[in-house]
Amino acid sequence: MHHGDTIVALDSTLPYLGITVTDIIVAVAVLVIGWMLIQFVKRMLERTARKAQQSEVMEQFVIRFITILLYVALLLVVLNILGVSTGAAAVSISALLGLILGFGMQDSVANIASGIWLAMQHPMDVGEAVDLNGIVGSVSSVGILSTQLLTFDNKYVTIPNKVVWSNAIINYSRMPTRRVELSVGISYAADLRRALEVAMDIMKSHELVLDDPEPMILVTELGDSSVNMSLRCWTEKANIVAVPSELYQQVFERFAAEGIEIPFPQMDVHMK
Q: Average model confidence (pLDDT) for the chain?
A: 83
Contacts by 11-19 with C-beta closer than 8 Å and gap 24+?
A: 18/83, 19/82, 19/83
Whether 76 and 89 have beta carbons less than 8 Å apart is answered as yes
Q: pTM of the entire structure?
A: 0.61
- Residue 263 in any domain: the answer is no
Residues 26 and 99 in one domain: yes
Output phi, psi for 176, to 5 deg: -70, -25
Q: Is residue 272 part of a domain?
A: no
User: Residue 130: which CATH number?
Assistant: 2.30.30.60
Domain coverage including residue 250: 177-258
| DSSP designation for 177 | E
The count of structural domains within the chain is: 3
Asked if residue 151 belongs to a domain, the reply is yes
pLDDT band for position 211 (cuts 50, 70, 90) = very high
End-to-end CA distance of the chain: 123
Is position 130 within any domain?
yes
Q: What is the pLDDT of residues 145-199, one digit of tens each?
A: 889 999 999 999 999 999 999 999 999 999 999 999 999 999 999 999 999 999 9
In tens, the pLDDT along 132-145 reads 989 999 999 888 78
| Residue 100 and residue 30 in one domain | yes
Residues 156 and 220 in one domain: no
- Choose one of 69, 104, 139: the last residue of a domain: 104
Q: Are residues 63 and 157 in the same domain?
A: no
Domain shared by 239 and 253, yes or no: yes
